[in-house]
Amino acid sequence: MQQILEKQRRYFMSGATRPLSFRRDALKRLQSALREREKGLTEALHADLGKSPAESYMCEIGLCLNSVREALHHLRKWSAPKRVSTPLAQFPAVARIVPEPYGVALIISPWNYPLLLSLDPLISALAAGNCCVLRFSRHAPHTAKELTELLSAIFPPEYVTTVGGGTDVAEQLLALPFDTIFFTGSPSVGRRVMQAAAANLVPVTLELGGKSPCIVDDTANIPLAARRIAFGKTLNAGQTCVAPDYLLIHRSVKERFIQKYAAAIRGMLGEHPADNPDFTHIVSERHFERLQGLLSGENIRLGGRMNSATLRMEPTLLDEVDPATSPCMQEEIFGPILPMIPFDSLDEVEQFVRSRPKPLACYIFTSNRRNEQRLIGSISSGGVCINDTIMHLAVPNLPFGGVGQSGMGAYHGVTGFNTFSHAKGVLSRFTFLDLPFRYAPITAWKEKVLRFFLR
């Protein structure tokens, strides 16, 4: 691991990655490789998670291609020095902000979106001019193998290299003095990443998770809300960091919502979703058993059927959930289970959500503009999506990241470029004039002039 870091640092210090022409060429090679190897990547995603070709393209390959296209289109603008105003006291001078790459970046990706959450931050890092070490999750081995072959075919190891292995490998990497670390995963592991990075004073970006609330008030379009919430909860079988984790629903529309949610599930996945081969399966037996345990003793209003042979679980609605004692309200679910908690007023909603750790996403379904603005202003979350779920991730100009226990830092689009860049402040002083006011001795008239400039 030390040799990998040293080799990449030497390559970075050579200046090879800094020219815009080099960065653009790297992004174009990645773009071409993604298109050429789409079939192999799709097959790998199916082998690891049972994803259908359509879902693999929509949620992984297509989004990566979109990120590459966005970076290629805006790279010159993002990387250009930006002039800022200078105070009169600094006359004559010019001030600007110059983005520069950190150096060697470590990117640690998770298993749930093994392609997207590996390549999306990689695209930002390469656009910013960094070298990268990319560590894959061992729970998505087929995708890791395919990505390793793809990246090694287009990039030399001193520029981009990949690493597999388990927890011991991750700990070895985190002990090294990388220039920046980008981690996507659980809050518990995120704490360990931050602790390890602190030993070397390495800046970190943490993309974590949490229990993202979905709020449906009495003015919401219930059929549309049910369909879009079902989409967000069944995407990747709920194994999404921004999946709706629990549903706060106005008591007056709860029963109608249940009916429409059931119809939406049938329309997308058929009468027996657990037997649908296009429905993503749970990643492992351990996670499957964990989800089974979350249903124990709960009031199941919809779904609940499981297929242990294929590790598929029907989308499940739970009613009369006790927030204080129900296991599904104590941890991020990361599966197709949706607990419902009815409310009668927005005061209850605000108090409930604000009493818990800040979520990565908040979903608000309403037709009342005042309710929408009230909830946006009163609930702190990484991002907000109004009258839909998940889709804010697909807007490259919106920063994506958490707040509090759901993460720190953000990426996507120019925000990702900035995450992997140091904003270096540069002041250029001209020599044709040297005002004497700052030099000793500070006489009364000099002090008067200084006070005028610095008032």
Q: What residues are labeled active site?
A: 207, 241
Yes or no: say if 210 and 405 are a contact pair by the CB < 8 Å rule.
yes
Cβ–Cβ under 8 Å, residues 402 and 81: no
Residues 354 and 411 reside in one and the same domain: no
The pLDDT confidence band at residue 305, using thresholds 50, 70 and 90, is very high
Q: Is it the case that residue 354 has pLDDT exceeding 90?
A: yes
263 and 393 in one domain?
yes
Do 373 and 408 share a domain, yes or no? no
Task: Tell me the helices (H) and strands (E) count for the chain, helix number first.
Answer: 16, 20
Whether residue 90 is predicted with pLDDT greater than 90 in this model: the reply is no
In the predicted model, is pLDDT for residue 302 greater than 90? yes
Percentage with pLDDT > 70 across the chain: 100
Residue 369 included in any domain: yes
The CATH number of residue 319's host domain is: 3.40.309.10
Strand, coil or helix: what is 27? helix
**Cα gap 51→87, rounded to integer Å:** 57
Q: Determine contact, residues 392/362, Cβ cutoff 8 Å.
A: no
Show the beta-strand stretches assigned E in 146-203: 160-163, 180-184
CA angle (251 as vertex; 249, 256 as ends), nearest 5: 80
- Domain boundary among the residues 386, 401, 416 is at 401
| Token pair for 359 | 């979520």
Distance CA 136, CA 143 (A): 9
Residue 269's pLDDT band, with cuts at 50, 70 and 90, is very high
The tens digit of pLDDT for each residue in 186-209 reads: 999 999 999 999 999 999 999 998
The CATH number assigned to the domain holding 71 equals: 3.40.605.10
Do 192 and 327 belong together in one domain? no
Do residues 433 and 88 make contact, with C-beta atoms less than 8 angstroms apart? no
Place of tokens 């966005």: 70
Name the domain count of the chain: 2
Instruction: Say if residue 217 is in the same domain as residue 197.
Output: no
Cβ count near 343 (within 10 Å): 20
**Residue 107 shares a structural domain with residue 53:** yes
Quick check: 116 pLDDT over 90? Answer: yes
Per-residue model confidence as pLDDT tens digits over 360-370: 999 999 999 99
Q: Is residue 302 part of a domain?
A: yes
Higher-confidence position of 211 and 164: 211
Same domain (yes/no): 108, 237:
no
pLDDT band at 117 (very low <50, low <70, confident <90, very high): very high
Alpha helices in 296-390 (DSSP H): 346-354, 369-378
80-84: long-range pairs with CB below 8 Å, 24+:
81/426
Residues 8 and 153 placed together within one structural domain of the fold: yes
Task: Tell me whether residue 27 is in a domain.
Answer: yes
Do 11 and 111 sit in the same domain of this protein?
yes
Cα Rg of the chain (Å, integer) = 25
Give me 306's structure tokens. 């499981």
Which domain range does residue 235 map to? 213-401
Q: Is the distance from CB of 109 to CB of 184 less than 8 angstroms?
A: yes
Is 90 exceeded by the pLDDT of residue 431? no
Please state the rounded mean pLDDT for residues 262-268. 96
The two tokens of residue 44 are: 């790998």
- Identify whether residues 233 and 281 lie together within a single domain: yes
End-to-end CA distance of the chain: 54
Please say whether the beta carbons of 283 and 289 come within 8 A: no
- When pLDDT is cut at 50, 70 and 90, the band that residue 84 belongs to is very high
**Cβ contact 219:385 at 8 Å:** no
Determine the average pLDDT of the residues in 362-379.
97
> Which residues share a beta bridge with 135?
108, 163
Residue 115 domain-assigned (yes or no)? yes
**Structural contact between residues 356 and 187, judged by C-beta atoms closer than 8 angstroms:** no
Checking if the pLDDT of 436 tops 90, the result is no
CA angle (179 as vertex; 174, 180 as ends), nearest 5: 70
Residues 132 and 9 in one domain: yes
pLDDT-based confidence at 91, cuts 50/70/90? confident
pLDDT tens readout for residues 383-426? 999 999 999 999 999 999 999 999 999 999 999 999 999 999 99
Check whether 353 has a pLDDT greater than 90. Answer: yes
Answer whether 180's CB lies under 8 Å from 202's CB. Answer: yes
Burial degree of 206 (CB within 10 A; 0-12, 13-18, 19+): buried
pLDDT per position as a tens digit, 51-81: 999 999 999 999 999 999 999 999 999 999 9
Query: At 134, phi and psi to the nearest 5?
Result: -115, 120
Domain annotation covers residue 429? no
Instruction: Establish if 433 belongs to a structural domain.
Output: no
Q: Report yes or no: 114 and 46 within 8 Å, Cβ to Cβ.
A: no
C-beta separation of 361 from 212 below 8 A: yes
Q: Which amino acid is at 282?
A: I
Computed over every residue of the chain, the mean pLDDT equals 95
CB atoms within 10 A of CB 98: 14
d(CA 250, CA 260): 15
Task: Report residue 113's pLDDT band, with 50, 70 and 90 as the boundaries.
Answer: very high
Cα–Cα dist 7/160, whole Å = 11
**Is residue 107 within a helix (H) or strand (E), and if so which, with residue range?**
strand 104-108
Cα 308 off chain centre by: 30
Q: Which pLDDT score is estimated for 345?
A: 97
Judge whether 434 lies within some domain.
no
pLDDT in tens, 153-182: 999 999 999 998 788 888 999 999 999 999
In terms of domains, do 418 and 316 share one? no
Q: Which pTM value belongs to this model?
A: 0.94
